[in-house]
Structure 1
Amino acid sequence: MKYLGLIFAGLFRKKLRTFLTLASLIAAFSLLGLLQSVNSLFSGAADFLGASRLITQASVSFTTALPMRFLPQIEAVPGVSAVNHSQFFGGQYQDGRGFFPQFAVNPQRLRDTYPEWVMDEDSWRRFISTQDGTIVGRNLANQYGWKVGDIVPLNSFIWQKTTGGNSWEWRVVGIFDGVNEDWSERANLMYLNYGQFDEARANGKGLAGIFVVRIADPEQSDRIASVIDAKFENSSDETKTQKESEFQLGFIRQLGDIGLIVNLITGAVFFSILFLTGVAMSQAVRERIPELAVLKCLGFTDRQVMLLVLAEALMLCLLGALLGMLLASAATGIVPPEFPVRADLRVWLIAAASVVVLTLAVGLPPALTARRLKIVDALAGRTDESALERVLRRLVGAFSGRNEEVRA
């Protein structure tokens, strides 16, 4: 701590350059926090679903419907405690300005397969008995100000009605919430009574999008999935059964390898920041060569001078990372609940590791230059260039069309 004032004095010797470099680091770590939060969502946000449910879909694609006759056959598999069928509705609210997940389901089977959704008994009874009924998540109801008895018009971009058009009306008969915090955060979807949906749709009657299978023992999930798929093997409607968490991630990954895309963007940003910060640190040390020589005259060892320069690089990267990650955390904190993106511990650990790597990459070359500094040569102005400085000079010379190195 006794060298802290000396570190800050060296770091802010050129205030404008330091603040500009710091601003670049803040921007880079803000982007890192946001991108890795998204990556964390895609790679692990479905973990809370566990393995107590399986999803049976068509082996070709989840967009291919399956016949409803599969339901009793799946129910008959040993270890299966409940089965529901679900069909994505694809409705738009308020002329397309509002979009949220909606699924047409059997009300009683929904309750059996998803006990994590909690709602009062009267609302469950209304949902079962109301042909055009719908239940909405608490977050969704709060967002749009819906209450029981409201009529919600939805324009489906998938399903047309037998009477023509794609405008549907659904009556809110209940508002459900999650059994715990994880589920409450995801109470932002709508369930529609399958009765009116199947009766009124112009095509696809008697078909299900997927089957949701609740099992008694999660340890038997792989075995049960194999048994279900074996029942329909070599038929015209072969199936693919997997854990619910795997299905959710597979649905997201239809957009592409999100993790790879995010990591490539982050890598490109940090390559640019590495070059910029490296140049700034190298320039700062080169300008202070006489001062570093004076420190050695005052009794500072080569190792102490090297560590001072390295500490400046660490302080700069640490400040940029801390401010950038705080900014990213604030930004993810205001994201709507239907997109549960959060800068969690995993994201902060990635940022911490990035600080260490960045510090060594930008601070070690000038720190080694300071360590090798000879007092006589430094005070006489005869210092050798570091390897990094020579590379930078050659790069500048190449881009300017000159082969000779540029003098400082």
Structure 2
Amino acid sequence: MTKTGFVLANLFHKKTRTWLTLLSVVMAFVLFGLLQSLNQVFSAGADFVGATRLVTQSRVSFTQSLPMRMVPEFDAIPGVQRVMYQQWFGAVFREDPQIFAFAVEPQRLHEVYPEWVMPEEHWQAFANTRTGMIAGRLLAEKYGWKVGDKIPMQSNIFPQKNGSKDWTFDLVGIYDGKDEEWSRNTAGGMYINHAYFAEAAQFGGGNAGIMVLRLENPDMAESVATLVDKRYENSADETKTQTEKDFQVGFIKQLGDIGLIVRWILFAVFFTLLLVVGNTMAQSVRERVPQFAVLKTLGFSDNTVLGFVLAETVAMCAIGGLVGLGLATLLGAVVAKAAGPMLPIGIDAQVWIAGLVAIVVLSLVVGLLPALRARRLKIVDALAGR
């Protein structure tokens, strides 16, 4: 029998226990892969590579609006093709607050987001209807909305001038995405006419929550972002300009320090895993004390016995860890496809490198004490059962 075969035979001498432990390792590394990729998203720096749109918000917070006088100033910035302004409306329909509703200028929305596909007559109706509204296809299907319907809506932020938070809009169009990924993002989105919102709202109508800048050339993203923020530096309306992806990540971060939460979950997972695998290896060594004594009697050195035990631990952690990372990669692709650009996670080389390091560290931490016990074992004491 080869040394590898000997190690594997010893590893599976209690098959049920070993398979259960391996399953624990696999699940731990599935969680590690998914959570580590999520952690990278929330801890990554600004990434301007390939950005076709930038989002400008107040440096203080996206909840603090920017004045509309900035729109023509943004339009005039070299490298900016078109600027769209939008204000978060805070829509609630039938007690459903999970609606992403924005007040926009219809033509600017059409030009800045060509990914939203809708018949041209619907775009024209949206631009020409004072109380007009367009809704995402999946959102309209969810509530059975049809073009021509009057949609009662509430805003949890903006009352009308009469003090009522009840609004009514005319559904003049239903938009879809240009592809499957964009179509999935129509599940909770709707737009209302900013001109009507500005006229009817009790406050906030003359401002915009964010500005979206469509660029002439993606290679200009970083320089345009720097130029915008420099222009308004030390003014009453300081700005923060970033890519859409970074803005979306920052929006999710408003829920809390996601990165810290993820790190604590990872710590809890691996602490539990350390206890599970450590107990398995310690129990396995205790059960095979006479076997180790026989090995030493046959001439195997103390260091060789230590190596056998460490090899078992490495084999268990490596098999479970690699399978877990592989499954995490597959699941990550599914999650990324479902989430779209709102949550751009992915199991990349960095996650795999971190996973391999975790496998090595876990193997050493878990296997070293049982291995040292086997190394220090005295033949006489072992055979005597002491």
Q: Same fold (TM over 0.5)?
A: yes
1:143-185: CA deviation from partner (whole Å, max 9, x where unpaired):
5454444444332211112233222233443333444555444
User: 1:53 aligned to 2:79?
Assistant: no
Post-superposition offset of 1:315: 4.3
Residue in structure 1 matched with residue 107 of structure 2 by the alignment? 108
**Following the alignment from structure 1 to structure 2, what is the Cα–Cα distance between the partners of residues 3 and 142?**
63
1:3-25: CA deviation from partner (whole Å, max 9, x where unpaired):
67755653454566546645654
**Following the alignment from structure 2 to structure 1, what is the Cα–Cα distance between the partners of residues 10 and 146?**
62
From the superposition, tell whether residues 42 and 126 of structure 1 become closer, same or farther in structure 2 (CA, over 3 Å). Answer: farther
Post-superposition offset of 1:88: 0.8
Residue in structure 2 matched with residue 250 of structure 1 by the alignment? 250
Normalization by structure 1: what TM-score?
0.76
From the superposition, tell whether residues 126 and 45 of structure 1 become closer, same or farther in structure 2 (CA, over 3 Å). Answer: farther
Q: For residue 175 of structure 1, what is the amino acid of its counterpart?
A: I
Normalization by structure 2: what TM-score?
0.80
Post-superposition offset of 1:304: 5.9
Post-superposition offset of 1:257: 3.4
Q: Secondary structure at the match of 1:99?
A: coil
Q: Any residues of structure 2 matched to 1:19-98 within 5 Å, and which?
A: 21-22=21-22, 24-25=24-25, 28-43=28-43, 50-96=50-96, 98=97
Post-superposition offset of 1:331: 9.9
2:197–2:205 Cα contact (<8 Å) kept: no
Residue in structure 1 matched with residue 161 of structure 2 by the alignment? 162
Q: Any residues of structure 2 matched to 1:5-404 within 5 Å, and which?
A: 7=7, 9-14=9-14, 17-18=17-18, 21-22=21-22, 24-25=24-25, 28-43=28-43, 50-96=50-96, 98-180=97-179, 182-188=181-187, 189-295=189-295, 305-318=305-318, 320-321=320-321, 322=323, 326=327, 337=339, 340=343, 344-345=347-348, 347=351, 350-371=354-375, 373=377, 375-381=379-385
Q: For residue 347 of structure 2, what is the amino acid of its counterpart?
A: D
What runs of 5+ residues in structure 2 fail to find an aligned partner?
none
1:37-90: CA deviation from partner (whole Å, max 9, x where unpaired):
543553569969943322222233221122212211221222221111111111
1:232-251: CA deviation from partner (whole Å, max 9, x where unpaired):
45543333333333333333
Q: Mean alpha-carbon deviation: is it higher for 75-84 or for 179-188?
A: 179-188
**Following the alignment from structure 1 to structure 2, what is the Cα–Cα distance between the partners of residues 6 and 153?**
73
Post-superposition offset of 1:29: 3.7
Q: For residue 167 of structure 1, what is the amino acid of its counterpart?
A: D
Residue in structure 2 matched with residue 406 of structure 1 by the alignment? none
Post-superposition offset of 1:340: 4.5
Q: Secondary structure at the match of 2:130?
A: coil
Post-superposition offset of 1:136: 3.0
Q: Secondary structure at the match of 1:214?
A: strand
Q: Mean alpha-carbon deviation: is it higher for 221-230 or for 333-342?
A: 333-342
Post-superposition offset of 1:273: 2.4
2:325–2:355 Cα contact (<8 Å) kept: no
Q: Mean alpha-carbon deviation: is it higher for 340-349 or for 325-334?
A: 325-334
From the superposition, tell whether residues 250 and 324 of structure 1 become closer, same or farther in structure 2 (CA, over 3 Å). Answer: closer
**Following the alignment from structure 1 to structure 2, what is the Cα–Cα distance between the partners of residues 301 and 178?**
68
**Following the alignment from structure 1 to structure 2, what is the Cα–Cα distance between the partners of residues 182 and 45?**
24
**Following the alignment from structure 1 to structure 2, what is the Cα–Cα distance between the partners of residues 180 and 89?**
26
Q: Mean alpha-carbon deviation: is it higher for 296-305 or for 370-379?
A: 296-305
Post-superposition offset of 1:139: 4.2
Q: For residue 228 of structure 2, what is the amino acid of its counterpart?
A: I
What runs of 5+ residues in structure 1 fail to find an aligned partner?
383-408
From the superposition, tell whether residues 343 and 77 of structure 1 become closer, same or farther in structure 2 (CA, over 3 Å). Answer: closer
From the superposition, tell whether residues 201 and 271 of structure 1 become closer, same or farther in structure 2 (CA, over 3 Å). Answer: same
Q: Secondary structure at the match of 1:164?
A: coil
**Following the alignment from structure 2 to structure 1, what is the Cα–Cα distance between the partners of residues 346 and 80?**
37
Post-superposition offset of 1:285: 0.7
Q: For residue 170 of structure 1, what is the amino acid of its counterpart?
A: F
Q: For residue 133 of structure 1, what is the amino acid of its counterpart?
A: G
Q: Secondary structure at the match of 2:60?
A: coil
1:329–1:343 Cα contact (<8 Å) kept: no
Post-superposition offset of 1:265: 2.6
Q: Secondary structure at the match of 1:274?
A: helix
Q: For residue 113 of structure 1, what is the amino acid of its counterpart?
A: V
From the superposition, tell whether residues 342 and 210 of structure 1 become closer, same or farther in structure 2 (CA, over 3 Å). Answer: closer
From the superposition, tell whether residues 286 and 70 of structure 1 become closer, same or farther in structure 2 (CA, over 3 Å). Answer: same
**Following the alignment from structure 2 to structure 1, what is the Cα–Cα distance between the partners of residues 166 and 45?**
33
Post-superposition offset of 1:268: 3.2
1:170-212: CA deviation from partner (whole Å, max 9, x where unpaired):
3443333444555444344222221322222111222111221
Q: Mean alpha-carbon deviation: is it higher for 147-156 or for 284-293?
A: 147-156
TM-align CA RMSD: 3.8
Post-superposition offset of 1:363: 2.1
